[in-house]
Amino acid sequence: MPKLTQLWHPGELTPPGCDTALSPSFAPLKRRQSRNPFLSPVQVRKRWQALDNAEAQALLLDPQTEAVMEGYAKNIENFIGTIKMPVGLAGPLRVNGTHAQDDYLVPLATTEAALVASYHRGACLISEAGGASAMLLSEAVQRTPGFCFDTLAEAGQFVAWVSTQYEVFKGVAQSTTRHGRLESVSVNLEANNVYLVFEYTTGDASGQNMVTIATNAVFHHILEHSPVTPRHAYIEANLSGDKKATAQALRGVRGKKVSAEVILPAELVRQRLHTTTESMVAYGRLSATGGILSGAIGVQGHYANGLAALYIACGQDAACVGESAVGITRLEARDDGGLYASVTLPNLMLGTVGGGTGLPTPNACLSLMGLAGPGKARALAEVTAALCLAGELSIIGALSAGHFSRAHHKLARGKSA
């Protein structure tokens, strides 16, 4: 066993200098910025004066950004500029969906070499096999306020009252939004704590802000009219699964739940992936067990890669990859030697209106796929699932064929392994 490096002598309770280096410092702050978080030319100028870095300013606040910067006012605070990321195309990706019916060239924004190439390979493979079948299964977005009472009896009295108030709550929620709709209110009782699960549909918007505003109105109505006054109450009690992977996601839906599948002939697997159906299915079994051993929620290879790249390119909330990347990938051998592959993603938090989708470059990326604006969110969800299927086929094929490391060497380092 290798020896561990000693960072300091065993007799010392802390490393040399820690008593001063790690102590609180109340010296005057070296840098400050304006307390005004809003976007205006004056405030932007003040922030760059505090930064005092002309080279960075020229890159982040280029003339094009400066000309349109006020359009970002509702998307960010303490604005100083924009960044540029490389965007690549994967596809064509043929999708035969209930809402998406086209051959899509999918824009992906990333700085990870080999990512676009991998998704591109999977997309072209799917298209050569006739396309991916994709189906939106259900959709909903939750917000879960919590209420703390003194006793279980008080909590029970509160729940009894709540169970009679759905139509009232629905009317209050509806008064805050034209596009959102409160579909259900359910209760989770834990001793003297009550969690209410408000479930909405949000139209073509991803909907986090929409459901927060609607639930906030209901929340204050509850505090004003409840027959029992809670000791504590909070607009979100962490039961919704917002921006995190949760086990409950696999049983329900948050955002949009989509399944996509494709059948690959054995010869296509051999020609394009340089492996066999048997090898890929064997890897799928090994990978599923590995996922269980690791405690993973769901079983999949790398949904987060494609989701993050697509979300950044298309103006989605990138933090939602934390929940959107939950799902299940399955591979099955068919009697004729072909390969059946499917993905199910129950938490696709995305939209084609609101959020960052209206900003210039994200809107341009959505427009490249014909998926910008109202009426396109369900199609975007099906394309996204098909994209994840493409990525799974590509990475499993590379691992089965022993090409995984070679591709990264070739594309990331500019030479073959």
220 classed as catalytic: no
**Candidates 99, 120, 302, 408; catalytic one:** 408
C-alpha to C-alpha distances, 372 to 85, 103, 204, 294, 385, nearest whole angstrom: 20, 16, 10, 38, 17
Distance CA 129, CA 137 (A): 23
Distance CA 378, CA 74 (A): 25
**Candidates 139, 204, 242, 317; catalytic one:** 317
Distance CA 127, CA 124 (A): 5
Q: What single-letter amino acid sits at 18?
A: C
Reference 300, options 347, 338, 356, 337; nearest CA is 347
Reduce the DSSP state of residue 259 to 3 states and report it. Answer: strand
Contact 325, 336 (CB under 8 A): no
408 classed as catalytic: yes
150 classed as catalytic: no
Region of residue 238 (phi > 0: left; psi between -120 and 50: alpha; otherwise: beta):
left
**Candidates 102, 112, 236, 278; catalytic one:** 112
Distance CA 285, CA 98 (A): 30
Catalytic residues: 112, 317, 408
